[in-house]
Amino acid sequence: MLPVASKQGRGLFHLQGTTGGERLIEEVSQSASSQNPRSRSGAFPLELAYRLILMYSLRDDWVLDPFLGTGTTLVAAAITGRNGVGYEVEEGLVKEARKNILSCKPLGVQILEDRLHAHRQFMAQREAKQNNGGLPKGRGGSPSYWNETLRLPVVTRQEIQLRWEVVQLIEEILQPPIEKGSILSNALSFQVTLRPFTPEDCGLPF
Ligand SMILES: C[S@@+](CC[C@H](N)C(=O)[O-])C[C@H]1O[C@@H](n2cnc3c(N)ncnc32)[C@H](O)[C@@H]1O
């Protein structure tokens, strides 16, 4: 089971681990003394894979995870529009990874919703500062631009063109049958199609 993003977050996301504790990227910890290590939550937080995949690959690229586990890395790949291939020595984990990957659409929307809220909050604080006479227009002062697609005030001209995308479709690529017992038999791969994100995706008026 994957950690899920929650709305209370600071930073990019705030994760609710299956162990019950909330985890931030700067405070990640996981007990190695668990009786059953297979029941532990994701091996590392989603946001780590998410950030690295955004930094080092492009939309439509392929991400290979030779140690698939519960599929955290490939979930991050899918919600950022990368296709994925994974291998895993334990058959049961492939099933779990498949379930996590194929059901990741709401998580992708949730992450963008959190970003939207964080941006709105930032803009409101900025506006408040300006009303107190703190910030001159154009130098941290009131927004000069508007992003029509996201229906957001933005600070710079470049942000007018900013578009976000979410997963439209994840198609699993079925493998030809491979001899049982071979590591290659525990594989999965998928291709992702994205569509534009709009504020309606998170129930906000468009
Ligand atoms: C730390 S977990 C991987 C976490 C995963 N990359 C993710 O994003 O969630 C390591 C996984 O590698 C698997 N593994 C170990 N040796 C392997 C091998 N030789 N071939 C394939 N998988 C292997 C383990 O069963 C374990 O599930």
Candidates 18, 68, 73: which one to mutate for ligand 1, based on the most atoms within 8 Å of Cβ?
A: 68
Task: Give the C-alpha separation, 51 to 53, whole Å.
Answer: 6
Whether 112 lines ligand 1, by a CB cut-off of 6 Å, is: no
Whole-structure pTM value: 0.77
Strand-strand pairing, 15-16 and 4-5: antiparallel
The atom number, within ligand 1, closest to the CA of 69 reads: 27
Residue pLDDT, tens place only, 162-186: 999 999 999 999 876 667 766 677 8
Residue pLDDT, tens place only, 79-93: 999 999 999 989 899
Asked whether the beta carbons of 59 and 194 are under 8 A apart, the reply is yes
Could you tell me the distance, in angstroms and rounded to a whole number, from the CA of residue 11 to the centre of ligand 1? 28
Structure confidence at residue 175 (pLDDT) = 75
- Tell me 66's DSSP state: S
Task: Give the C-alpha separation, 9 to 7, whole Å.
Answer: 5
Provide the 10 A C-beta neighbour count for residue 143. 17
Whether 2 lines ligand 1, by a CB cut-off of 6 Å, is: no
Output the CA–CA distances (angstroms, integers) from residue 42 to 97, 141, 176, in the order listed. Answer: 10, 42, 29
- Tell me 204's DSSP state: -
Highest mean pLDDT: which range of 16-30, 64-78, 172-186:
64-78
Residue pLDDT, tens place only, 111-151: 999 999 999 999 888 888 877 766 555 555 566 799 999 99
CA angle 105, 111, 116 (to 5 degrees): 125
Whether 89 lines ligand 1, by a CB cut-off of 6 Å, is: yes
Report the nearest-CA residue for atom 9 of ligand 1: 72
Structure confidence at residue 174 (pLDDT) = 85
